[in-house]
Structure 1
Amino acid sequence: MKKTFQLKVEGKNRERLLDAAKHDIRKYLKRERAKALPKEVDFWDFDCKSGYSEATAAVVSVADLIKSIDEIVKDGGEQFYVEVLAKPGVKVARPKNDATEDEFDGE
């Protein structure tokens, strides 16, 4: 999804347009997560960008995407750009830390 959402449309409430844009983004994420996973893939991961325009968009995490949109709107932006691209994700095992395990054995 690569889209510029307008927040200033004649005859429409700015807050309603913002809520509709957030709904579209969440709906897209839900739809992509529901797709069948390829073999050897554990989950769908997302590359996200957000900004005033495509040229000024910065990389953000999925968790911070809505927060970044709220900041743009709070600063008085007339529009905002969102880019969300799905990619396969694979879980990586955490390395064991022997020092941490020894501390808990004595308790």
Structure 2
Amino acid sequence: MKKTFKLDHPKIKVPRLVDSMKHDINKFLKNERKKPLPAGAKYWGFDCKFGQSEEAAVEIELSSLMQHIDDLVENKIMTVYVEITPKAMLPGVG
């Protein structure tokens, strides 16, 4: 998932757009976790990049993604870039 979310809309308020963005992310994660694992893999892991734009995106932990989104919205940033890449995690590999 590579997506840039715009949080300015003439009729929809920002909190509703943020909820929609979080819903899209959670829906993507749920669908990816349903996919069958490759042979030898134990579970699905995810690499995550986050920022105001694709060029400014930095790698973060998936578990802190929602907090980072809230922080940007709190600072009145109206563009959010999220990139989530699924990867099969093998036993004994972090």
**TM-score category, normalised to shorter length:** over 0.9
The runs of at least 4 aligned residues of structure 1 exceeding 3 Å deviation read none
Q: What is the aligned partner in structure 2 of residue 75 from structure 1?
A: 75
Q: In structure 1, how many angstroms separate the alpha carbons of the residues matched to 2:90 and 2:72?
A: 32
What aligned pairs does 1:14-29 form with structure 2 within 5 A after superposition? 14-29=14-29
- Show structure 2 runs of 5+ residues with no match: none
- Show structure 1 runs of 5+ residues with no match: 94-107
Secondary structure at the residue paired with 1:84? strand
C-alpha RMSD of the superposition: 1.1
Deviation at 1:79, TM superposition (A): 1.1
Structure with the larger RCO, 1 or 2 (CA within 8 Å, 6+ apart): 2
Secondary structure at the residue paired with 1:63? helix
Deviation at 1:35, TM superposition (A): 0.5
Q: What is the aligned partner in structure 2 of residue 91 from structure 1?
A: 91
Q: In structure 1, how many angstroms separate the alpha carbons of the residues matched to 2:58 and 2:81?
A: 10
Deviation at 1:90, TM superposition (A): 1.5
Q: TM-score, normalised by structure 2?
A: 0.94
Q: Give the paired residue count.
A: 93
Which of these two proteins has the greater Rg computed from alpha carbons?
A: 1
